[in-house]
Homo-oligomer: A and B are copies of this chain.
Amino acid sequence: MDCSVLQKLRYEYKPKLPAILAGEAGDISIELGEPTEAVADAGALKELFKATYGKPVATFSRGKNEKISRELKVGVILSGGQAPGGHNVIAGLFDGLKKGNPASKLYGFLGGPGGLVDNKAVELTAEKIAPYRNTGGFDMIGSGRTKIETPQQFAAALKTALTLSLDAVVVVGGDDSNTNAALLAEYFLEKGSAIQVIGCPKTIDGDLKNEHIETSFGFDTACKTYSELIGNIQRDAASARKYWHFIRLMGRSASHITLECALQTQPNISLISEEVAEKEVSLNQLVNDICQSVIRRAENNENFGVILIPEGLIEFIPEMKKLISELNDIMAAKEEEFSKITSFIDQMYWLGKELSGESYTLLQTLPAEIARQLLLDRDPHGNVMVSWIDTEKLLINMVTKLLAKFKEDGVYKGKFSAVGHFFGYEGRCAFPSNFDADYCYALGYSAFVLAANGLTGYVSSVKNLATPASQWVAGGVPLTMMMNLEQRHGAKKPVIKKALVELEGRPFQVFAAARETWAVQTSFLYPGAIQYFGPAELCDQASKTLLLEKGR
């Protein structure tokens, strides 16, 4: 495989492990605590997870453990969107397995959970894994978004696992995929199979987080990559002194990415969806807030700036949320009728009769391009594709118009020229930072220890991440402990609770304390590109969000 210089050098990187995992494999024993409870809906979850509910938290400690050297067959799945470090989870799992018993085998399911259902697997050997160590992407075995939902899919998954004589399946994924892992663990036991299922917490969005999962992997690298770009754009803005850059970032449900990037780069304005929802900020109010920053900076002769926008924002603006929800309902009920109307003007006229007055007025005031996106870009369920909406263009359009009005009124005397950006794909497959490379390797290795000890329905857990890797604490957490019931497609379903940005949490508080200054004074930070070979203060730091949450 033809490869870049960095790639070749990263192959040689030896991920740092927690002390307990760095020692002899046979010297890792497991301690189990008290039975646990789900975060909510304990009764209902107990019914749903008869075999796996309420298991104890598992921690590793020094002690002879013969189970570690069992000969194992394990299958691994990469599920959902790419996140930097996925390959290292596989490498850590593989190295653990081989350290435990050289005869153990690891299979990789191809193209995500669908590979388990359809029995598409390859054996992962040292040679196969070598050219993927410490590099980004999920291309070693691919990923996919198939959800194992139907009885047929569950049965097929079991059949594949039995055919391959697997002892365990490791599912690397986000909240949905780990919920799926819990259901699979329960299903296998229900069907009398001892095949274990173990999850690993992945998602660049950072919303798979709780008492036992301090961060999901990939968040660190993705945010550092976006922050590099934001910093570069800020420096350009401060040099050229003539553009306002509106930068949309990934994060549909939660704004952790935007908040982390804001802490790393200190732009003028960063919109946090959770705050917009909590305070019921209207679209006009948001636009007005941005204009006030533009006006005050223009008074200092600074006709430039940078604004961060989470891609999910518009779903959190109360009146937009209502409009989108009405559109989804109308399309669900009258899709056929709507699909026959071909011109945009006729579609708008038709919607005038279907939407509430308030939503129709809003739709009419939106820029035509955005209104078109709301009407045309729909997912297979007929829902508006919120992540495809160019929210940065919507805001640029509305800010431009309001500033023109302020100019007429004599309130604003500056010049305003805006540029929009969207960063998403740029960060999901970057070479993992040393933090993510180490964290993922430890998660994979820890998943091996859980598998060797016969645990199922657990997620691999590595904690104490604000300290050097040698002090990290590895173990396993029962998946049911993180669950509650939520409404999904008209029914109550067990799901892992998404972690949203907490307005009372330290990351947001630190941001909130500084943002009024940032809105007016240029306080930009330029983090630069992720570094892998320099001093530890530069190369081995965890995200600001994690450090602040851990009181650093």
Residues of A within 8 A of B (CB): 2-7, 9-10, 81-82, 111, 135-139, 142-143, 225, 228-229, 231-233, 235-236, 238-241, 243, 245, 264, 266, 419, 421, 425-431, 523, 525-535, 537-538, 541
Contact = CB atoms under 8 A, between A and B. Distances in A.
A3 B233 contact: no
A4 B526 contact: yes
Nearest to A265: B4
B239 A528 contact: no
A10 B138 CA distance: 33
Contacts of A235: 82, 135-137, 139, 429
A236 B225 CA distance: 14
Contacts of A136: 232, 235, 526
Q: Which 6 pairs show the lowest CB-CB distances between chains A and B?
A: A529-B529, A235-B429, A533-B534, A137-B235, A6-B528, A138-B239
Contacts of A143: 239-240
Given A82-B240, A135-B526, A232 B532 contact: no
A5 B537 contact: yes
A528 B4 contact: yes
Nearest to A237: B425
A5 B4 CA distance: 26
Contacts of A532: 531, 534
A534 B4 contact: no
Contacts of A135: 235, 526
Given A533-B531, A538-B9, A3 B431 contact: no
A400 to B, nearest CB: 14
Nearest to A236: B429
Contact of A239 (B229, B240, B429, B538): B429
A240 B426 CA distance: 13
Nearest to A3: B525
B526 A3 contact: yes
A77 to B, nearest CB: 14
Contacts of A2: 266, 523, 525
Nearest to A428: B236
A196 B447 CA distance: 70
Nearest to A234: B429
Given A10-B528, A135-B526, 20 more contacts: A4-B231, A5-B538, A5-B541, A6-B529, A7-B526, A82-B235, A82-B236, A82-B239, A111-B241, A137-B235, A137-B239, A142-B239, A229-B229, A233-B425, A233-B426, A430-B529, A431-B529, A531-B532, A533-B533, A533-B538
Given A236-B425, A239-B142, A531 B531 contact: yes
Q: Name which of A2, A235, A241 has the most chain B CB atoms within 10 A of its CB.
A: A235
Nearest to A4: B527
A82 B82 CA distance: 33
Contacts of A523: 2
Contacts of A527: 4-6
A473 to B, nearest CB: 26
Given A425-B419, A532-B531, A139 B233 contact: no
A431 B526 contact: yes
